[in-house]
Amino acid sequence: MSAKLKFFLIVILSISATVGAGVYITLHQKSVPIVETNDGQTQQVGAIHQSQEVAEFSERSDYQTIPLEKLNSSLQGSNPTTLALNAFEDIAVAGTRKIEVVYPQPNQALVTITQIKRGDNSVGKVKYRAEMTAFGRSLFISSPPVWQIIWAGSQEECSIGSRSHTKLNHICH
């Protein structure tokens, strides 16, 4: 056997072993959701039961769906927080803002932006929610994953005096 053929076989076997080990590790890795708040602190949350993970996505029913075509920004990016802020920038109103990012799975991100607006006699909260999925990396393996918005929604909660009620994508009066 020639030296070139031996070298070629060694390279092919090395690549195959590396890919196999990577797939094995990825499939057998336990996912721990990570919660990130807008003040830069990250918290790891313990294992969540399957029913709680499903409940996370059932919150869609509390939101009015925003068609992705109405978002005037790119639906793909490397940072879920920045991606959501840019997506809702034209829709969002002025006021105090709270951003929460949750990663229920390694390839999923849920970004909730809560804005508190103050009117004449009312205080209202507008919540925007973007669900994202990661589908690869840009250019290099060491680069961050590319995230894509797959669903967006909003809800509005109004407080008039001591009463509070929730409206889906309506203006508080």
Does residue 122 contact residue 160 with C-beta atoms inside 8 Å? yes
pLDDT, position 46: 38
Residue type, 128: Y
pLDDT, position 135: 82
pLDDT, position 151: 94
Whether the model clears a pTM of 0.85, i.e. scores above it, the answer is no
Q: Identify any residues that bridge with 164 across adjacent strands, giving them in sequence order.
A: 159
Task: Walk along the chain (173 residues) in steps of 10 and give the mean pLDDT of each run.
Answer: 89 90 71 50 40 53 89 88 87 76 91 80 79 79 85 82 52 50
Reference 56, options 134, 151, 124; nearest CA is 151
Q: Coil, strand or helix: which one is 4?
A: helix
Largest CA distance in the chain: 87
Distance CA(12)–CA(18), nearest Å, equals 10
pLDDT, position 142: 74
pLDDT, position 52: 40
Residue type, 125: K
Reference 156, options 169, 143, 142, 144; nearest CA is 169
Distance CA(136)–CA(107), nearest Å, equals 9
Does residue 151 contact residue 160 with C-beta atoms inside 8 Å? no
Q: Coil, strand or helix: which one is 10?
A: helix
Does residue 105 contact residue 123 with C-beta atoms inside 8 Å? no
Return phi, psi of residue 9, to 5°: -65, -40
Return phi, psi of residue 104, to 5°: -70, -25
